[in-house]
Structure 1
Amino acid sequence: MNKSAIDAVLFDLDGVLIDSGPAHLESWRRLAMELGIAITDDQFKSTFGRQNRDVIPMLFGPGNDPERMHEWSERKEAYYRELIADRVPIFVGATGLVRACHRAGMKCAIGSSGHPKNIALAVAALRIETEISVVVSGQDVSAGKPDPQVFLLGAERLGVSAARCAVIEDAPAGIAAALNAGMTAIAVASEHPREHLNRAHLIVDRLSDLTPARIGGAAQQRWS
Protein backbone atom coordinates (compact mmCIF):
# COMPACT_ATOMS: atom_id res chain seq x y z
CA MET A 1 0.00 0.00 0.00
CA ASN A 2 1.30 3.47 -0.84
CA LYS A 3 0.08 6.91 0.12
CA SER A 4 -2.33 7.06 -2.82
CA ALA A 5 -4.14 4.06 -1.31
CA ILE A 6 -5.16 6.17 1.71
CA ASP A 7 -8.48 7.39 0.43
CA ALA A 8 -9.86 8.95 3.61
CA VAL A 9 -8.78 10.56 6.87
CA LEU A 10 -11.06 10.48 9.89
CA PHE A 11 -10.23 13.16 12.43
CA ASP A 12 -11.13 13.02 16.08
CA LEU A 13 -12.09 16.50 17.25
CA ASP A 14 -11.29 17.07 20.93
CA GLY A 15 -7.56 17.01 21.57
CA VAL A 16 -6.78 16.72 17.85
CA LEU A 17 -8.26 19.69 15.99
CA ILE A 18 -9.22 21.77 19.02
CA ASP A 19 -7.64 22.13 22.46
CA SER A 20 -10.91 21.58 24.29
CA GLY A 21 -9.63 19.74 27.36
CA PRO A 22 -9.68 22.71 29.78
CA ALA A 23 -13.23 23.69 28.77
CA HIS A 24 -14.48 20.12 29.09
CA LEU A 25 -12.87 19.81 32.53
CA GLU A 26 -14.42 23.09 33.68
CA SER A 27 -17.87 22.12 32.39
CA TRP A 28 -17.73 18.71 34.12
CA ARG A 29 -16.57 20.40 37.32
CA ARG A 30 -19.42 22.90 37.13
CA LEU A 31 -21.92 20.07 36.82
CA ALA A 32 -20.19 18.07 39.56
CA MET A 33 -20.29 21.06 41.92
CA GLU A 34 -24.05 21.32 41.41
CA LEU A 35 -24.31 17.63 42.30
CA GLY A 36 -22.01 17.95 45.32
CA ILE A 37 -19.25 15.81 43.80
CA ALA A 38 -15.54 16.59 43.31
CA ILE A 39 -13.62 15.57 40.17
CA THR A 40 -9.85 15.12 40.06
CA ASP A 41 -7.65 15.75 37.01
CA ASP A 42 -6.80 12.04 36.83
CA GLN A 43 -10.47 11.08 36.85
CA PHE A 44 -11.12 13.53 34.04
CA LYS A 45 -8.19 12.29 31.93
CA SER A 46 -9.46 8.73 32.22
CA THR A 47 -12.61 9.80 30.34
CA PHE A 48 -10.85 11.12 27.21
CA GLY A 49 -12.36 9.83 23.98
CA ARG A 50 -15.43 8.36 25.65
CA GLN A 51 -19.11 9.18 25.34
CA ASN A 52 -21.00 10.92 28.13
CA ARG A 53 -23.12 7.82 28.70
CA ASP A 54 -19.85 6.10 29.70
CA VAL A 55 -18.26 9.13 31.39
CA ILE A 56 -21.10 9.83 33.83
CA PRO A 57 -20.83 6.45 35.62
CA MET A 58 -17.04 6.87 35.71
CA LEU A 59 -17.29 10.29 37.39
CA PHE A 60 -20.54 10.11 39.35
CA GLY A 61 -20.96 6.40 40.00
CA PRO A 62 -23.25 3.74 38.51
CA GLY A 63 -26.97 3.31 38.96
CA ASN A 64 -28.33 6.59 37.57
CA ASP A 65 -31.41 6.25 35.38
CA PRO A 66 -31.06 7.07 31.66
CA GLU A 67 -33.33 10.13 31.79
CA ARG A 68 -31.26 11.71 34.55
CA MET A 69 -28.01 10.87 32.75
CA HIS A 70 -29.32 12.49 29.56
CA GLU A 71 -30.27 15.66 31.45
CA TRP A 72 -26.84 15.85 33.09
CA SER A 73 -25.14 15.27 29.75
CA GLU A 74 -27.10 18.02 27.99
CA ARG A 75 -26.44 20.44 30.86
CA LYS A 76 -22.72 19.72 30.82
CA GLU A 77 -22.47 20.23 27.05
CA ALA A 78 -24.38 23.52 27.28
CA TYR A 79 -21.82 24.71 29.85
CA TYR A 80 -19.02 23.62 27.51
CA ARG A 81 -20.41 25.59 24.57
CA GLU A 82 -20.80 28.67 26.77
CA LEU A 83 -17.12 28.45 27.69
CA ILE A 84 -15.82 28.26 24.10
CA ALA A 85 -18.49 30.27 22.27
CA ASP A 86 -16.39 33.43 21.99
CA ARG A 87 -13.15 31.67 21.06
CA VAL A 88 -12.90 28.05 19.97
CA PRO A 89 -9.37 26.88 20.95
CA ILE A 90 -8.04 25.66 17.59
CA PHE A 91 -4.73 23.80 17.47
CA VAL A 92 -2.02 25.28 15.25
CA GLY A 93 -2.11 23.61 11.86
CA ALA A 94 -5.58 22.08 12.24
CA THR A 95 -7.34 23.89 9.41
CA GLY A 96 -4.28 23.62 7.18
CA LEU A 97 -3.97 19.85 7.62
CA VAL A 98 -7.62 19.16 6.83
CA ARG A 99 -7.41 21.34 3.74
CA ALA A 100 -4.12 19.74 2.66
CA CYS A 101 -5.60 16.24 2.95
CA HIS A 102 -8.61 17.36 0.93
CA ARG A 103 -6.37 18.85 -1.77
CA ALA A 104 -4.40 15.58 -1.85
CA GLY A 105 -7.57 13.75 -2.83
CA MET A 106 -8.31 12.24 0.57
CA LYS A 107 -11.91 12.33 1.77
CA CYS A 108 -12.17 13.91 5.21
CA ALA A 109 -14.54 13.14 8.07
CA ILE A 110 -14.98 13.89 11.76
CA GLY A 111 -15.37 10.86 14.03
CA SER A 112 -16.01 12.17 17.53
CA SER A 113 -17.64 11.06 20.76
CA GLY A 114 -18.83 14.63 21.17
CA HIS A 115 -22.23 16.29 20.96
CA PRO A 116 -23.37 17.26 17.43
CA LYS A 117 -23.73 20.93 18.47
CA ASN A 118 -20.16 20.94 19.79
CA ILE A 119 -18.88 19.49 16.53
CA ALA A 120 -20.82 21.98 14.41
CA LEU A 121 -19.44 24.88 16.45
CA ALA A 122 -15.87 23.64 16.00
CA VAL A 123 -16.18 22.87 12.28
CA ALA A 124 -17.49 26.38 11.66
CA ALA A 125 -14.67 27.94 13.68
CA LEU A 126 -12.10 25.84 11.80
CA ARG A 127 -13.67 26.91 8.48
CA ILE A 128 -13.56 23.37 7.10
CA GLU A 129 -17.23 22.94 6.17
CA THR A 130 -16.28 22.39 2.51
CA GLU A 131 -13.57 19.84 3.25
CA ILE A 132 -15.47 17.70 5.77
CA SER A 133 -17.75 15.32 3.86
CA VAL A 134 -19.08 13.34 6.83
CA VAL A 135 -19.57 13.94 10.55
CA VAL A 136 -20.21 11.07 12.97
CA SER A 137 -21.00 12.08 16.54
CA GLY A 138 -21.54 10.19 19.76
CA GLN A 139 -25.28 10.31 19.11
CA ASP A 140 -24.89 8.34 15.87
CA VAL A 141 -23.56 5.17 17.49
CA SER A 142 -24.67 2.83 20.25
CA ALA A 143 -21.21 2.18 21.70
CA GLY A 144 -18.36 4.60 22.32
CA LYS A 145 -14.62 4.27 21.76
CA PRO A 146 -12.73 1.91 22.02
CA ASP A 147 -15.59 0.29 20.11
CA PRO A 148 -14.89 1.02 16.41
CA GLN A 149 -18.47 1.98 15.48
CA VAL A 150 -17.78 5.70 15.09
CA PHE A 151 -14.98 5.12 12.57
CA LEU A 152 -16.62 2.23 10.74
CA LEU A 153 -19.77 4.31 10.27
CA GLY A 154 -17.65 7.21 9.03
CA ALA A 155 -15.93 4.98 6.48
CA GLU A 156 -19.27 3.55 5.37
CA ARG A 157 -20.74 7.02 4.85
CA LEU A 158 -17.63 8.09 2.93
CA GLY A 159 -17.83 4.97 0.76
CA VAL A 160 -14.26 3.95 1.64
CA SER A 161 -13.05 0.59 2.96
CA ALA A 162 -11.59 0.57 6.47
CA ALA A 163 -8.18 -0.57 5.21
CA ARG A 164 -7.92 2.61 3.12
CA CYS A 165 -8.70 4.93 6.04
CA ALA A 166 -6.37 6.68 8.46
CA VAL A 167 -7.53 7.96 11.84
CA ILE A 168 -5.99 10.92 13.69
CA GLU A 169 -6.53 10.53 17.44
CA ASP A 170 -5.14 11.76 20.75
CA ALA A 171 -6.55 9.29 23.29
CA PRO A 172 -5.78 5.63 23.99
CA ALA A 173 -9.47 4.75 23.61
CA GLY A 174 -9.52 6.40 20.20
CA ILE A 175 -6.36 4.64 19.04
CA ALA A 176 -7.88 1.33 20.15
CA ALA A 177 -11.07 2.16 18.22
CA ALA A 178 -9.06 2.88 15.06
CA LEU A 179 -7.14 -0.39 15.39
CA ASN A 180 -10.34 -2.30 16.11
CA ALA A 181 -11.73 -0.83 12.89
CA GLY A 182 -8.73 -2.10 10.91
CA MET A 183 -7.54 1.42 10.07
CA THR A 184 -4.16 3.13 10.16
CA ALA A 185 -3.93 4.79 13.59
CA ILE A 186 -2.00 8.04 14.00
CA ALA A 187 -1.63 9.54 17.47
CA VAL A 188 -1.07 13.16 18.44
CA ALA A 189 0.52 13.36 21.89
CA SER A 190 -1.34 16.53 22.88
CA GLU A 191 -2.96 15.19 26.05
CA HIS A 192 -1.34 11.83 26.75
CA PRO A 193 2.30 10.72 26.99
CA ARG A 194 3.68 8.73 24.08
CA GLU A 195 3.89 5.53 26.11
CA HIS A 196 0.09 5.56 26.46
CA LEU A 197 -0.27 5.84 22.68
CA ASN A 198 2.33 3.29 21.62
CA ARG A 199 -0.14 1.03 19.80
CA ALA A 200 -0.49 3.67 17.07
CA HIS A 201 1.27 3.19 13.74
CA LEU A 202 2.68 6.73 14.00
CA ILE A 203 2.97 9.16 16.93
CA VAL A 204 3.65 12.88 16.55
CA ASP A 205 4.08 15.51 19.24
CA ARG A 206 1.79 18.06 17.61
CA LEU A 207 -0.74 18.19 14.80
CA SER A 208 1.43 20.59 12.81
CA ASP A 209 3.98 17.76 12.43
CA LEU A 210 1.58 15.90 10.13
CA THR A 211 1.23 16.17 6.35
CA PRO A 212 -0.71 14.07 3.84
CA ALA A 213 2.59 12.43 2.88
CA ARG A 214 3.32 11.40 6.48
CA ILE A 215 -0.19 10.01 6.83
CA GLY A 216 0.31 7.98 3.67
CA GLY A 217 3.75 6.92 4.85
CA ALA A 218 2.31 5.53 8.08
CA ALA A 219 -0.03 3.34 6.05
CA GLN A 220 2.78 2.27 3.75
CA GLN A 221 4.94 1.19 6.70
CA ARG A 222 1.98 -0.64 8.20
CA TRP A 223 1.55 -2.77 5.10
CA SER A 224 5.21 -3.20 4.13
Structure 2
Amino acid sequence: MKHLEALILDWAGTVVDHGSVAPTTIFVEAFKSAFNFDITLAQARIPMGMGKWDHIATLGKLPEIDSRWQAQFGAPMSDEQIDHIYNTFMPLQKAKVAERAMPIAGVLAVIKRLQEQGMKIGSCSGYPRQVMDVLEVAAAEYGYKPDHSVASDELAAGSRPGPWMALENVNALAIKRVAHCVKVDDSAPGIVEGLNAGMWTVGVALSGNAVGLTEQQWDACTTQEQTELARDAYQQLHQAGAHYVINSLADIEPVLIEIDAKLAQGGRP
Protein backbone atom coordinates (compact mmCIF):
# COMPACT_ATOMS: atom_id res chain seq x y z
CA MET A 1 0.00 0.00 0.00
CA LYS A 2 1.49 3.29 -1.14
CA HIS A 3 -1.03 5.89 0.01
CA LEU A 4 -2.66 4.94 3.30
CA GLU A 5 -0.79 6.34 6.28
CA ALA A 6 -2.71 5.39 9.40
CA LEU A 7 -5.49 3.42 11.03
CA ILE A 8 -7.36 5.13 13.84
CA LEU A 9 -8.76 2.31 15.93
CA ASP A 10 -11.44 2.16 18.57
CA TRP A 11 -10.70 -0.06 21.58
CA ALA A 12 -13.54 -2.15 23.07
CA GLY A 13 -15.22 -4.33 20.45
CA THR A 14 -12.68 -3.35 17.78
CA VAL A 15 -9.25 -4.35 19.12
CA VAL A 16 -9.99 -5.78 22.57
CA ASP A 17 -13.03 -7.07 24.50
CA HIS A 18 -14.94 -9.17 21.99
CA GLY A 19 -18.58 -8.08 22.18
CA SER A 20 -17.75 -4.78 23.91
CA VAL A 21 -18.84 -6.33 27.19
CA ALA A 22 -16.86 -4.25 29.70
CA PRO A 23 -18.69 -0.92 29.28
CA THR A 24 -22.24 -2.24 28.91
CA THR A 25 -22.39 -4.44 32.00
CA ILE A 26 -20.96 -1.64 34.13
CA PHE A 27 -23.63 0.84 33.02
CA VAL A 28 -26.26 -1.58 34.30
CA GLU A 29 -24.39 -2.00 37.60
CA ALA A 30 -23.81 1.75 38.02
CA PHE A 31 -27.49 2.67 37.59
CA LYS A 32 -28.47 -0.05 40.04
CA SER A 33 -25.82 0.85 42.62
CA ALA A 34 -26.28 4.63 42.43
CA PHE A 35 -30.08 4.86 42.39
CA ASN A 36 -31.48 1.30 42.58
CA PHE A 37 -32.70 1.84 39.02
CA ASP A 38 -32.76 -0.97 36.48
CA ILE A 39 -31.72 -0.68 32.84
CA THR A 40 -31.18 -3.53 30.41
CA LEU A 41 -27.99 -4.46 28.57
CA ALA A 42 -29.76 -3.67 25.30
CA GLN A 43 -30.59 -0.17 26.54
CA ALA A 44 -27.03 0.33 27.82
CA ARG A 45 -25.71 -0.40 24.33
CA ILE A 46 -27.81 2.19 22.50
CA PRO A 47 -25.44 5.21 22.88
CA MET A 48 -22.26 3.08 22.83
CA GLY A 49 -19.23 4.90 21.47
CA MET A 50 -20.02 8.23 23.13
CA GLY A 51 -18.02 9.61 26.05
CA LYS A 52 -19.29 7.97 29.22
CA TRP A 53 -20.85 11.06 30.86
CA ASP A 54 -22.66 11.83 27.59
CA HIS A 55 -23.59 8.15 27.34
CA ILE A 56 -25.32 8.28 30.73
CA ALA A 57 -27.07 11.54 29.85
CA THR A 58 -28.31 10.04 26.58
CA LEU A 59 -29.61 6.98 28.39
CA GLY A 60 -31.55 9.27 30.71
CA LYS A 61 -33.29 10.85 27.73
CA LEU A 62 -34.42 7.57 26.14
CA PRO A 63 -38.24 7.59 26.39
CA GLU A 64 -38.42 4.14 27.96
CA ILE A 65 -35.92 5.16 30.66
CA ASP A 66 -37.02 8.78 31.11
CA SER A 67 -40.65 7.83 31.78
CA ARG A 68 -39.66 5.37 34.52
CA TRP A 69 -37.07 7.78 35.93
CA GLN A 70 -39.63 10.55 36.26
CA ALA A 71 -42.12 8.16 37.81
CA GLN A 72 -39.51 7.13 40.40
CA PHE A 73 -37.86 10.51 41.08
CA GLY A 74 -40.46 13.07 40.01
CA ALA A 75 -38.29 14.90 37.45
CA PRO A 76 -36.01 14.21 34.46
CA MET A 77 -32.49 13.04 35.23
CA SER A 78 -30.41 15.99 36.45
CA ASP A 79 -26.72 16.75 35.83
CA GLU A 80 -26.07 16.04 39.51
CA GLN A 81 -27.64 12.60 39.16
CA ILE A 82 -25.63 11.96 36.00
CA ASP A 83 -22.48 12.94 37.92
CA HIS A 84 -23.36 10.48 40.67
CA ILE A 85 -23.90 7.61 38.22
CA TYR A 86 -20.67 8.56 36.41
CA ASN A 87 -18.69 8.60 39.66
CA THR A 88 -20.18 5.23 40.60
CA PHE A 89 -19.35 3.91 37.13
CA MET A 90 -15.65 4.86 37.17
CA PRO A 91 -14.17 2.46 39.77
CA LEU A 92 -16.33 -0.38 38.48
CA GLN A 93 -15.22 0.32 34.92
CA LYS A 94 -11.51 0.43 35.75
CA ALA A 95 -11.73 -3.00 37.33
CA LYS A 96 -13.69 -4.45 34.41
CA VAL A 97 -11.52 -3.19 31.54
CA ALA A 98 -8.49 -4.98 32.92
CA GLU A 99 -10.48 -8.23 32.83
CA ARG A 100 -11.57 -7.61 29.23
CA ALA A 101 -8.27 -6.39 27.75
CA MET A 102 -7.52 -9.50 25.69
CA PRO A 103 -7.22 -8.67 21.97
CA ILE A 104 -9.85 -10.08 19.62
CA ALA A 105 -8.71 -13.19 17.74
CA GLY A 106 -6.47 -12.45 14.77
CA VAL A 107 -6.23 -8.71 15.40
CA LEU A 108 -2.68 -8.46 16.75
CA ALA A 109 -1.21 -10.31 13.78
CA VAL A 110 -2.92 -7.93 11.33
CA ILE A 111 -1.78 -4.84 13.24
CA LYS A 112 1.79 -6.15 13.31
CA ARG A 113 1.80 -6.76 9.55
CA LEU A 114 0.46 -3.28 8.87
CA GLN A 115 3.03 -1.66 11.15
CA GLU A 116 5.77 -3.55 9.35
CA GLN A 117 4.54 -1.92 6.14
CA GLY A 118 4.86 1.52 7.75
CA MET A 119 1.23 2.01 8.76
CA LYS A 120 0.80 4.12 11.90
CA ILE A 121 -1.71 3.00 14.50
CA GLY A 122 -3.69 5.68 16.30
CA SER A 123 -6.50 5.02 18.74
CA CYS A 124 -9.36 6.68 20.56
CA SER A 125 -12.14 5.58 22.85
CA GLY A 126 -15.30 6.53 24.65
CA TYR A 127 -13.40 5.72 27.84
CA PRO A 128 -12.02 8.64 29.88
CA ARG A 129 -8.30 8.88 30.59
CA GLN A 130 -8.43 7.28 34.05
CA VAL A 131 -9.94 4.15 32.47
CA MET A 132 -7.63 4.25 29.46
CA ASP A 133 -4.60 4.30 31.77
CA VAL A 134 -5.72 0.94 33.15
CA LEU A 135 -6.72 -0.53 29.78
CA GLU A 136 -3.52 0.48 27.98
CA VAL A 137 -1.33 -1.22 30.58
CA ALA A 138 -3.46 -4.38 30.51
CA ALA A 139 -3.57 -4.51 26.69
CA ALA A 140 0.20 -3.94 26.45
CA GLU A 141 0.71 -7.12 28.47
CA TYR A 142 -1.00 -8.97 25.59
CA GLY A 143 1.19 -7.16 23.05
CA TYR A 144 -1.04 -4.31 21.89
CA LYS A 145 0.42 -0.83 22.08
CA PRO A 146 -0.79 1.75 19.52
CA ASP A 147 1.42 4.62 18.45
CA HIS A 148 -0.94 7.12 20.06
CA SER A 149 -4.17 7.12 22.02
CA VAL A 150 -6.76 9.74 22.92
CA ALA A 151 -9.38 9.44 25.66
CA SER A 152 -12.86 10.91 25.57
CA ASP A 153 -12.22 13.55 28.24
CA GLU A 154 -8.86 14.85 27.02
CA LEU A 155 -9.97 17.44 24.47
CA ALA A 156 -11.72 20.72 25.23
CA ALA A 157 -13.82 20.44 22.07
CA GLY A 158 -15.43 17.18 23.23
CA SER A 159 -15.65 13.62 21.96
CA ARG A 160 -17.74 11.54 19.58
CA PRO A 161 -19.54 11.97 17.28
CA GLY A 162 -17.39 15.05 16.72
CA PRO A 163 -14.10 14.59 14.81
CA TRP A 164 -11.71 15.82 17.47
CA MET A 165 -10.25 12.60 18.89
CA ALA A 166 -9.61 11.21 15.43
CA LEU A 167 -8.01 14.48 14.32
CA GLU A 168 -5.86 14.65 17.44
CA ASN A 169 -4.34 11.36 16.29
CA VAL A 170 -3.66 12.91 12.88
CA ASN A 171 -1.80 15.74 14.59
CA ALA A 172 0.15 13.54 17.01
CA LEU A 173 1.17 11.06 14.31
CA ALA A 174 2.09 13.79 11.79
CA ILE A 175 -0.23 12.40 9.11
CA LYS A 176 0.08 14.37 5.87
CA ARG A 177 -3.48 13.89 4.58
CA VAL A 178 -6.59 13.08 6.58
CA ALA A 179 -8.01 11.26 3.55
CA HIS A 180 -5.13 8.79 3.91
CA CYS A 181 -6.50 7.61 7.27
CA VAL A 182 -9.03 4.89 8.00
CA LYS A 183 -11.21 5.07 11.13
CA VAL A 184 -12.28 1.63 12.37
CA ASP A 185 -15.06 1.33 14.94
CA ASP A 186 -17.85 -0.96 16.11
CA SER A 187 -20.31 1.81 17.03
CA ALA A 188 -22.36 4.35 15.10
CA PRO A 189 -20.91 7.39 16.96
CA GLY A 190 -17.41 6.13 16.16
CA ILE A 191 -18.24 5.79 12.48
CA VAL A 192 -19.73 9.30 12.41
CA GLU A 193 -16.59 10.55 14.16
CA GLY A 194 -14.48 9.25 11.28
CA LEU A 195 -16.82 10.70 8.67
CA ASN A 196 -16.78 14.09 10.39
CA ALA A 197 -12.98 13.96 10.41
CA GLY A 198 -12.89 13.32 6.64
CA MET A 199 -11.58 9.76 6.88
CA TRP A 200 -12.50 6.46 5.31
CA THR A 201 -14.59 4.49 7.79
CA VAL A 202 -14.81 0.76 8.39
CA GLY A 203 -17.42 -0.72 10.70
CA VAL A 204 -16.68 -3.85 12.70
CA ALA A 205 -19.86 -5.90 12.96
CA LEU A 206 -19.49 -9.28 14.64
CA SER A 207 -16.82 -8.63 17.27
CA GLY A 208 -18.32 -5.42 18.59
CA ASN A 209 -21.25 -3.62 20.10
CA ALA A 210 -23.59 -4.17 17.14
CA VAL A 211 -23.83 -7.88 18.03
CA GLY A 212 -22.70 -7.58 21.62
CA LEU A 213 -21.73 -11.19 22.30
CA THR A 214 -18.55 -12.78 23.59
CA GLU A 215 -16.88 -15.34 21.35
CA GLN A 216 -18.35 -18.13 23.46
CA GLN A 217 -21.86 -16.67 23.24
CA TRP A 218 -21.51 -16.21 19.48
CA ASP A 219 -20.33 -19.79 19.01
CA ALA A 220 -23.32 -21.00 21.02
CA CYS A 221 -25.78 -19.35 18.60
CA THR A 222 -27.47 -21.35 15.88
CA THR A 223 -26.59 -20.65 12.26
CA GLN A 224 -29.91 -18.87 11.80
CA GLU A 225 -29.29 -16.72 14.89
CA GLN A 226 -25.82 -15.81 13.67
CA THR A 227 -27.19 -14.89 10.25
CA GLU A 228 -29.85 -12.61 11.72
CA LEU A 229 -27.43 -10.96 14.15
CA ALA A 230 -24.88 -10.37 11.38
CA ARG A 231 -27.51 -8.89 9.06
CA ASP A 232 -28.70 -6.45 11.73
CA ALA A 233 -25.15 -5.46 12.67
CA TYR A 234 -24.11 -4.82 9.07
CA GLN A 235 -27.26 -2.79 8.48
CA GLN A 236 -26.70 -0.70 11.62
CA LEU A 237 -23.13 0.23 10.64
CA HIS A 238 -23.98 0.89 7.00
CA GLN A 239 -26.81 3.16 8.13
CA ALA A 240 -24.30 5.07 10.26
CA GLY A 241 -22.41 5.79 7.03
CA ALA A 242 -19.55 3.29 7.10
CA HIS A 243 -17.82 3.01 3.73
CA TYR A 244 -17.14 -0.67 4.45
CA VAL A 245 -18.32 -3.17 7.07
CA ILE A 246 -16.36 -6.28 8.04
CA ASN A 247 -16.81 -9.05 10.58
CA SER A 248 -13.66 -8.23 12.56
CA LEU A 249 -10.59 -6.03 12.40
CA ALA A 250 -8.75 -9.25 11.55
CA ASP A 251 -10.48 -9.09 8.14
CA ILE A 252 -9.45 -5.54 7.21
CA GLU A 253 -6.46 -6.07 4.90
CA PRO A 254 -8.40 -6.61 1.63
CA VAL A 255 -10.44 -3.47 2.40
CA LEU A 256 -7.28 -1.43 2.94
CA ILE A 257 -5.88 -2.63 -0.38
CA GLU A 258 -9.10 -1.50 -2.08
CA ILE A 259 -9.01 1.90 -0.38
CA ASP A 260 -5.36 2.36 -1.30
CA ALA A 261 -6.21 1.60 -4.93
CA LYS A 262 -9.00 4.20 -4.85
CA LEU A 263 -6.59 6.79 -3.45
CA ALA A 264 -4.16 5.99 -6.28
CA GLN A 265 -6.93 6.87 -8.73
CA GLY A 266 -7.73 10.14 -6.97
CA GLY A 267 -10.58 8.80 -4.86
CA ARG A 268 -11.55 10.42 -1.58
CA PRO A 269 -13.76 9.34 1.36
Residue deviations 1:75-100 (CA, integer Å, cap 9, x gap): 31210222343452431123222222
Ranges in structure 1 where 5+ consecutive residues have no aligned partner:
none
In the alignment, the residues of structure 1 paired with residue 79 and residue 84 of structure 2 have an alpha-carbon distance, to the nearest angstrom, of 10
Structure 2 CA distance for partners of 1:130 and 1:91, relative to 1, 3 Å: closer
Q: What is the letter of the counterpart of residue 149 of structure 2?
A: V
Q: Which amino acid aligns with 1:23?
A: A
Aligned residue in 1 for 2:223: none
* Rounded Cα–Cα distance in structure 2 between residues aligned with 1:74 and 1:164: 38
Q: Counterpart in 1 of 2:40?
A: 40
Match of residue 255 from structure 2: 214
In the alignment, structure 1 residue 204 sits paired with structure 2 residue 246: yes
- Quick one: distance in 2 between partners of 1:94 and 1:126? 12
Partner Cα separation in structure 2 for residue 136 and residue 10 of structure 1: 10
8 Å Cα contact 1:92-1:207 kept in structure 2:
no
* Paired residue type of 1:172: A
* 1:129 CA displacement: 7.4
Q: Which amino acid aligns with 1:140?
A: E
Q: Select which of 115, 118, 128 maps to 1:102.
A: 115
Contact 1:6/1:216 (CA < 8 Å) preserved in 2?
A: no
Q: CA-atom RMSD, angstroms?
A: 2.4
* 8 A Cα contact 1:56 1:69, kept in partner: yes
TM-score, reference length from structure 1:
0.86
Give the aligned partner of residue 137 of structure 1: 151
Which of 175, 182, 185 is residue 191 of structure 2 equivalent to?
Answer: 175
1:149 to 164, 171, 181: 164
Q: How does 1:49-88 map to 2 (within 5 A)?
A: 49-61=49-61, 64-65=78-79, 69-86=82-99, 88=101
Flag the 1:129–1:117 CA change in 2: closer, same or farther, 3 A.
Answer: farther
Asked whether 1:165 is paired with 2:206, we answer: no
Q: Answer whether contact 1:134 1:158 (CA < 8 A) is retained.
A: yes
- Identical amino acids, percent of aligned pairs: 20
Number of residue pairs matched?
220
Q: Which runs of 5+ in 2 are unaligned?
A: 62-75, 211-232
Deviation at 1:219, TM superposition (A): 4.5
Secondary structure of the structure 2 residue equivalent to 1:197: helix
CA contact (8 A) 1:50 1:113 kept: yes
Query: What is the TM-score normalised by the length of structure 2?
Result: 0.73
Measured after TM superposition, the shift of residue 175 of structure 1 is 0.8
SS of equivalent to 1:85: helix
Report deviation, 1:149. 1.1
